[in-house]
Copies of this chain bind each other. A is one copy, B any other.
């Protein structure tokens, strides 16, 4: 069990909303003592989903009990469908039933679904309570638990309702990923690779060497999580409310979202990280086609993602991705169109991504049409 005092700590420098991301193996068991030290006198509502509860809830609450902390637990259904008004209302009701006061904390124990849902609930109960992220998926550890974006889905689209509410602490237990499915581990890995591709070629080089160890659970896993968190924390510091540079984090996501739409957000066919993996390769290939980057970089990015077991081409999407018209429609829906031009994250090579706000839609269409035929 990692002594939290020896864990890696990544600060998120947001002034009065600053917090720390603590990263290490078996932090879940050590969380009670850590919380007792950081939030004296507080009580907790631990919110998780059934699958995560099965694997990790007992160990987590045993640590709370050992530290003599008062807590309640609220368990919701696993899956994206829990990011709804109904589940939000039931979590809020559970927190109020537990008689938590404004100084107490909510705990989001789970993946990005739990993090987004619980962060939202924390933001609105008693007009704002503190909360702790305990991310248990790789995606949540390197992406969704950091930055304070919270939200739920509606019939009009994903994440259209929510708020910015920063956690007071993130405890990323890298050993918790041992119970995660291979597929979700890979999907989260796509987001790790993203940070290398955006602006850190040395990190990408390092990932090429350490990928195996990250998947197997060696010390490189915690290091990968820490480096990814540092990258995200820096972007969040500069652009907390996502009005500018934070857009770089969308590398691969415009194409990725279009693929998720084309597969009806059916997780059996495509999970988010898989869409992002294909999307990042497409962004590199499209940049190469615009003569912004060397085609070799697209090949290198694709080779690495494929070695991790991720899909990298449209042809790999089960059931196909439909027509070029369908994809273009999804892209227009996702993006704001300014004077007929699209905003896209493009790249000049590995680690040299940039935001282009003048992409001509016809060029995207031609590119996708070519990709679809082969």
Contacts and interface: CB of A to CB of B under 8 A. Distances in A.
Interface in A107-149: 120, 123-128, 149
A6 B88 CA distance: 45
Nearest to A90: B85
Does more than half of chain A's interface fall in helix, strand or loop, or is it mixed? mixed
Query: How many copies, total?
Result: 2
A336 B164 CA distance: 28
A266 interface: no
Contact of A164 (B128, B149, B160): B128
A162 interface: yes
A96 B333 CA distance: 13
A307 to B, nearest CB: 36
Interface stretch (A151-159, A179-187, A250-258): A151-159
Interface in A68-121: 85, 88-89, 92-93, 96-97, 101, 120
Contact of A156 (B93, B101, B162): B93
Nearest to A92: B161
A342 interface: no
Given A96-B154, A96-B156, A163 B127 contact: yes
Contact of A163 (B96, B128, B157, B336): B128
Nearest to A121: B161
A151 to B, nearest CB: 7
Given A92-B161, A124-B162, A128-B164, 6 more contacts: A85-B89, A96-B160, A97-B156, A123-B163, A124-B124, A124-B163
